[in-house]
């Protein structure tokens, strides 16, 4: 058993370090669902922003590494030094410039309103009391919030979700950047002629890195002078293939097979499994230790301070959402160290799970009859021997259903890993949907995969339970 | 020789044992009887420190049993059989029996298994050695529990109501095993409500009431010529049933 655990841990370490070789890298944070500025093509992130960033990396003699995170995480990525540059069609605002430095603007972008062709909105004044969707944390969001108090704003995590809302008649319009808006027009959608506001895209860089800012500005100025940025824009326009009346098979083909998109799902599955397995092992180790500390304290009166710490840990972890813990560990605790996000995921979910496992194990220990312990003591066995050979094995049998439950929850919990840029299953479906503009198949497929994982786990636990209960065949 | 000097036990304000003095010689078969709640089980459990006495001393061959690092060595010398058998439910019959002597390095695994099998054979349970406790009847469980204690080769065995949780038809198989053990000159202290068994089996009987030993005598004296009024009342009640 010990050998197997060691093997598993070394395998995990290999997988983690395997995805993280050390080289001189310029790390770019973006959200790759914003064609033509950044989007996936043949499993690579490409786009205008990426082209510019490559020029910058070339100037610095570094290799460009692209990190796909949520739009509202990008500023934080740069601020905490997790990434060097942020670029995702980020518009200059006063508020943002207080947090990070902006390069000179490399593109002017109009915020336009996307509406259905049959919409009764004909001009800006018609917006009064309407429902408008925006992407959370974008300029469109800021602009509507401060200028149109009478509009009901629906804030979506991704602007594709906002467009879905529009198609499904859940909102009356979507306010967004003009260029990507043009990319997703189809037979039913159109852009309202009047632009609401014009803003300027810049890349963002940490306030502590004046040097990099200077290089970026130099490169952007040069590219602008050479007219390269317009060339880049042209080369990325009209790439997205949109057919409105695709057959179900075409949709499936586009979602999974075209462009080898299943690779995202496989990568997502791999990361989900690595994080879940690592976190389960960590959670069980932490949880059992905490439970034993608390049990020794309750039965023998020792370990006062440790018991206090264990109780505090359990209270704090159970009292806060796991997504917050993940972000605190990544952006606060590991602020300056260059640690693999997969490892952060394992650590964060493991610590989270540990608190729940601790209470499950404690309940299990309490459920073992006092008599069996007394029989052990009466035979001259020590507390540790009684715990290890009698109480824990019996407790394990009693807590197995609850433990199984916790593991299953944990597998699904890993889906919030996308917040720090982990490409796990849910994120994988997001990436595919950002290319196909269709959520149906990606969501259905990963739902099926989660279901399969759960079924396998349930089967495994049923087997162990049967064995521990000494059921004879 | 087991000596008990002025043993007292309080549960909070409640005085359960109010000063017990007693000497038990090697090979004695001592029965303890008395009404429910008189403290007889607490007394028995105090002898191997499963209950920590509030006051007093317990000495085995002159060595005091205390809550110190020697306690585990002392406990090895005193076996205990419980009302609820308390077999380890995660281990099969054979492992239940050999676990403690092997873990404590008292004997090798091979010789422990050999001895355990010899004993299981004597009580006709050899074919059950791979069974788990939940697959055994109460009488079988208790006999396995007794063998588990015997394999530790104790000098004294404490029986805490060993037949109370058994169906009537199974009591015989347990008491018969106890009779076999008595032939080996083992010191046995038995708390039981099985008056008939105590009367025929024990060489010495203690009557306890209200945390004290009221009468201490041979089985004949206690059952046929009781002196104390409380003992007389107790015995008459039992006879009425």
Q: How far apart are CA A283 and CA A354, in angstroms?
A: 4
Domains A108-199 and A262-468 equal at CATH topology level: no
**What distances in angstroms separate CA A408 from CA A266, A268, B121, one per listed residue?**
20, 17, 47
A377 touches chain B (CB under 8 A): yes
Three-state SS sequence of B154-202: CCEEEEECCCCCCCHHHHHHHHHHHHHHHCCCCEEEEECCCHHHHHHHC
Q: How far apart are CA B93 and CA B109, in angstroms?
A: 15
Interface contact flag, A389 B103, Cβ < 8 Å: yes
Band of pLDDT at residue A4, cut at 50, 70 and 90:
low
Average pLDDT over residues A190-214: 87
A385 touches chain B (CB under 8 A): yes
Per-residue pLDDT at A20 exceeds 80: no
Residues A50 and A38: beta-carbon distance below 8 Å = yes
Band of pLDDT at residue A3, cut at 50, 70 and 90:
low
Between A441 and A354, the higher pLDDT residue:
A354
Q: How far apart are CA A447 and CA A268, in angstroms?
A: 13
A369 touches chain B (CB under 8 A): yes
Mean pLDDT of chain A: 86
Structure tokens at B95: 């492992």
Percent of chain B with pLDDT over 90: 89
Which of A71, A39, A134, A158 lies closest to A435, judged by CA? A39
For residue A380, what is the nearest residue in chain B, using CA coordinates?
Answer: B72
A468 touches chain B (CB under 8 A): yes
Interface contact flag, A381 B100, Cβ < 8 Å: yes
- pLDDT digits 0-9 by tens, A25-53: 899 999 988 888 998 887 789 999 999 99
- Does some domain include residue B172? yes
Interface contact flag, A376 B100, Cβ < 8 Å: yes
Q: Could you say which of B50, B87, B104 has the minimum Cβ distance to residue A378? A: B50
Interface contact flag, B100 A393, Cβ < 8 Å: no
Return the sign of the alpha-carbon dihedral for residues A152, A157, A158, A161: negative
CA of B81, closest CA in chain A: separation in Å?
8
Query: First CA to last CA across chain A, in angstroms?
Result: 24
- pLDDT digits 0-9 by tens, A395-409: 988 899 999 999 999
Interface contact flag, B75 A378, Cβ < 8 Å: yes
ipTM of the complex: 0.94
Residue A21, φ and ψ in degrees, nearest 5:
-75, 150
Residue B23 DSSP SS3: strand
Pairing relation of β-strands B29-33 and B55-60? unpaired
Between A446 and A433, the higher pLDDT residue:
A446
- Does some domain include residue B130? no
User: Residues of A with CB below 8 A from B72's CB?
Assistant: 380-382
Q: How many CB atoms lie within 10 A of CB B235?
A: 17
Helix A262-300, helix A425-436: angle, nearest 10: 150
Residue B119 DSSP SS3: helix
**What distances in angstroms separate CA A391 from CA A145, A295, A362, B79, B101, one per listed residue?**
59, 11, 11, 21, 18
- pLDDT digits 0-9 by tens, B177-226: 999 999 999 999 999 998 999 999 999 999 999 999 999 999 999 999 99
Residues A82 and A330: beta-carbon distance below 8 Å = yes
Best of B51, B80, B85, B86 to mutate (most A CBs within 10 Å, chain A): B86
Which domain covers residue B234, as residue numbers? 2-88+154-240
Interface contact flag, A375 B88, Cβ < 8 Å: yes
User: Residues of A with CB below 8 A from B73's CB?
Assistant: 380
Best of A375, A387, A391 to mutate (most B CBs within 10 Å, chain B): A375
Band of pLDDT at residue A2, cut at 50, 70 and 90:
low
> What's the CATH number of domain A262-468, 1.10.3720.10, 3.40.50.1010, 1.20.120.1200, 2.40.240.10?
1.10.3720.10
Three-state SS sequence of chain A: CHHHHHHHHHHHHHHHHHCCCCCCEEEEEECCCECCCEEEECCEEECHHHHHHHHHHHHHCCEEEEEECCHHHHHHHHHCCCCCEECCCCECCHHHHHHCEECCCCEEEEEEEEEECCCCCCCHHHHCCCEEEEECCCHHHHHHHHHCCCCEEEEECCHHHHHHHHHCCCCCEEEEEHHHHHHCCCCCEEECCCCCEEEEECCEECCCCHHHHHHHHHHHHHHHHCCHHHHHHHHHCCCCCCCCCCCHHHHHHHHHHHHHCHHHHHHHHHHHHHHHHHHHHHHHHHHHHHHHHHHHHHHHCCCHHHHHHHHHHHHHHHCCCHHHHHHHHHHHHCCCCCCCHHHHHHHHHHHHHHHHHHHHHHHHHHHCCHHHHHHHHHCCCCHHHHHHHHHHHHHHHHHHHHHHHHHHHHHHHHHHHHHHCCCCHHHHHHHHHHHHCCCHHHHHHHHHHHHHHHHHHHHHHHHHHHHHCCCCC
- Does some domain include residue B122? no
User: Residues of A with CB below 8 A from B50's CB?
Assistant: 374, 377-378
The domain total for chain B is 1
CA of A289, closest CA in chain B: separation in Å?
21
CA of B231, closest CA in chain A: separation in Å?
31
Interface contact flag, A470 B132, Cβ < 8 Å: yes
Best of B68, B79, B88 to mutate (most A CBs within 10 Å, chain A): B88
- pLDDT digits 0-9 by tens, A330-353: 888 887 777 888 999 999 999 999
Q: How many CB atoms lie within 10 A of CB A200?
A: 16
Residues B174 and B201: beta-carbon distance below 8 Å = no
Q: How far apart are CA B222 and CA B215, in angstroms?
A: 7
Q: Could you say which of B76, B86, B92 has the minimum Cβ distance to residue A380? A: B76
User: Residues of B with CB below 8 A from A376's CB?
Assistant: 88, 100
A208 touches chain B (CB under 8 A): no
User: Residues of B with CB below 8 A from A470's CB?
Assistant: 92, 132, 134-135
Residue B60 DSSP SS3: strand
Residue A103, φ and ψ in degrees, nearest 5:
-75, 175
CATH fold, domain A108-199, is D-Maltodextrin-Binding Protein; domain 2 (3.40.190)
CATH of residue B36's domain is 3.40.50.300
- Does some domain include residue B105? no
Per-residue pLDDT at A454 exceeds 90: yes
Q: Which residues pair with A379 in a beta bridge?
A: none
CATH code reported for the domain at A19-106+202-242: 3.40.190.10
Biggest CA-to-CA distance, chain A: 89
Structure tokens at A182: 């043009």
Residues 6+ apart with CB under 8 A from A67: A27, A28, A29, A30, A77, A82, A83, A421
Band of pLDDT at residue A470, cut at 50, 70 and 90:
low
Biggest CA-to-CA distance, chain B: 55
Band of pLDDT at residue A239, cut at 50, 70 and 90:
low
Q: Which of A19-23, A141-145, A150-154, A336-340 has the lowest mean pLDDT?
A: A19-23
- Does some domain include residue B32? yes
Which of B208, B186, B236, B179 lies closest to B4, judged by CA? B208
Best of A300, A302, A379 to mutate (most B CBs within 10 Å, chain B): A379
Q: Which residues pair with A22 in a beta bridge?
A: none
Q: What is the DSSP letter of B57?
A: E
Angle at A374 between CA A370 and CA A379, to 5 degrees: 155
Q: What is the DSSP letter of B143?
A: H
> What is the H or E stretch that residue B213 is in?
strand B212-218
Q: Could you say which of A369, A380, A468 has the minimum Cβ distance to residue B72? A: A380
- pLDDT digits 0-9 by tens, A101-126: 999 999 888 888 999 988 888 887 78
Per-residue pLDDT at B44 exceeds 90: yes
Interface contact flag, A375 B145, Cβ < 8 Å: yes
* Predicted pLDDT of residue A84: 92
- Does some domain include residue B146? no
Mean pLDDT of chain B: 93
* Predicted pLDDT of residue A14: 55
> What is the H or E stretch that residue B215 is in?
strand B212-218
Which of A93, A325, A47 lies closest to A200, judged by CA? A93
For residue A397, what is the nearest residue in chain B, using CA coordinates?
Answer: B90
Between A294 and A439, the higher pLDDT residue:
A294
How many CA atoms lie within 13 Å of A164's alpha carbon, on the beta-carbon side? 15
For residue B48, what is the nearest residue in chain A, using CA coordinates?
Answer: A378
Give the residue numbers in B contacting A (CB under 8 Å), as ranges: 48, 50, 72-73, 75-76, 78-80, 82, 84, 86-90, 92, 99-100, 103-104, 132, 134-135, 145, 148-149, 152
* Predicted pLDDT of residue B67: 84
CA of A386, closest CA in chain B: separation in Å?
10
CA of A350, closest CA in chain B: separation in Å?
28
Pairing relation of β-strands A63-68 and A25-30? parallel
Q: How far apart are CA A261 and CA A254, in angstroms?
A: 8
Residues A345 and A414: beta-carbon distance below 8 Å = yes
Query: First CA to last CA across chain B, in angstroms?
Result: 37
């Amino acid at each position: 058993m010990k050998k197997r655990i060691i093997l598993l841990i070394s395998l995990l370490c290999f997988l983690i370090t395997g995805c993280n070789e050390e080289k001189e890298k310029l790390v770019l944070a973006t959200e790759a669902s914003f064609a033509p500025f950044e989007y996936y093509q043949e499993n690579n992130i490409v786009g205008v922003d990426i082209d510019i960033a490559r020029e910058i990396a070339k100037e610095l003699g570094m290799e460009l590494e692209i990190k796909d995170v949520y739009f509202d995480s990008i500023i934080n990525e740069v601020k905490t030094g997790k990434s060097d540059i942020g670029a995702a069609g980020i518009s200059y605002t006063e508020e943002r410039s207080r947090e990070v430095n902006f390069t000179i603007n490399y593109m002017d972008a109009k915020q336009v309103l996307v509406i259905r062709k049959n919409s009764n909105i004909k001009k800006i004044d018609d917006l009064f009391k309407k429902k408008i969707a925006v992407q959370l944390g974008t300029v469109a969001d800021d602009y509507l919030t401060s200028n149109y108090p009478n509009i009901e704003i629906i804030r979506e995590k991704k602007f594709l979700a906002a467009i879905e809302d529009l198609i499904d008649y859940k909102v009356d319009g979507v306010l967004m950047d003009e260029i990507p808006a043009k990319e997703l027009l189809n037979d039913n959608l159109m852009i309202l002629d009047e632009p609401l506001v014009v803003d300027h895209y810049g890349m963002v860089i940490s306030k502590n890195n004046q040097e990099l800012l200077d290089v970026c500005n130099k490169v952007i100025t040069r590219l602008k002078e050479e007219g390269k940025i317009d060339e880049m824009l042209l080369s990325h326009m009209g790439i997205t293939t949109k057919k409105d009346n695709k057959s179900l098979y075409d949709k499936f083909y586009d979602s999974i097979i075209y462009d080898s998109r299943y690779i995202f799902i496989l990568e997502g599955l791999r990361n989900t499994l690595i994080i879940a397995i690592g976190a389960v092992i960590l959670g069980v180790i932490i949880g059992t230790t905490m439970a034993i500390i608390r049990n020794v304290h309750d039965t023998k009166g020792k370990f006062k301070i440790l018991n206090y710490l264990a109780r505090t840990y359990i209270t704090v972890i159970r009292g806060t959402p796991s997504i917050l813990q993940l972000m605190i560990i990544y952006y606060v605790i590991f602020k300056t160290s260059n640690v693999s996000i997969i490892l952060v995921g394992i650590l964060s979910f493991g610590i989270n799970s540990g608190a729940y496992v601790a209470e499950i194990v404690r309940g299990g220990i309490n459920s073992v009859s006092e008599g069996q312990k007394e029989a052990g003591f009466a035979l001259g066995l020590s507390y540790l021997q009684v715990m290890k050979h009698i109480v824990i094995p019996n407790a394990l049998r009693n807590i197995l259903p609850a433990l199984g439950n916790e593991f299953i929850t944990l597998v699904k919990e890993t889906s919030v890993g996308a917040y720090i840029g982990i490409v796990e299953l849910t994120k994988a479906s997001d990436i595919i949907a950002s290319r196909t503009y269709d959520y149906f198949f990606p969501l259905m497929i990963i739902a099926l995969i989660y279901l399969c994982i759960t079924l396998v786990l349930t089967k495994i636990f049923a087997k162990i339970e049967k064995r521990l209960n000494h059921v004879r065949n | 020789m087991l000596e008990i000097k002025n043993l007292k036990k309080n549960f909070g304000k409640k005085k359960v044992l109010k000063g017990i003095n007693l000497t038990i010689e090697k090979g004695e078969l001592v029965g303890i009887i008395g009404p429910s709640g008189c403290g007889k089980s607490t007394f028995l459990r105090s002898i191997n420190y499963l209950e920590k006495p509030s006051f007093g001393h317990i000495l085995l061959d002159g060595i005091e049993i205390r809550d110190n690092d020697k306690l585990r060595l002392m406990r090895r010398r005193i076996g205990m059989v419980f009302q609820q058998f308390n077999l380890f439910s995660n281990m099969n019959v054979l492992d239940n029996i050999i676990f403690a002597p092997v873990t404590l390095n008292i004997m090798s695994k091979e010789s422990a298994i050999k001895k355990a099998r010899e004993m299981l054979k004597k009580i006709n349970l050899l074919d059950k050695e791979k069974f788990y406790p939940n697959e055994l009847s109460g009488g079988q469980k208790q006999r396995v529990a007794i063998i588990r204690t015997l394999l530790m080769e104790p000098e004294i065995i404490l029986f805490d109501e060993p037949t109370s949780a058994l169906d009537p038809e199974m009591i015989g198989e347990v008491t018969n095993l106890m009779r076999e053990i008595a032939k080996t000159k083992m010191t046995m202290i038995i708390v039981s409500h099985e008056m008939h068994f105590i009367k025929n089996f024990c060489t010495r009987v203690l009557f306890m009431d209200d945390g004290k030993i009221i009468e201490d005598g041979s089985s004949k004296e206690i059952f046929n010529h009781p002196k104390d009024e409380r003992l007389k009342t107790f015995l008459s009640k039992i006879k009425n049933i």
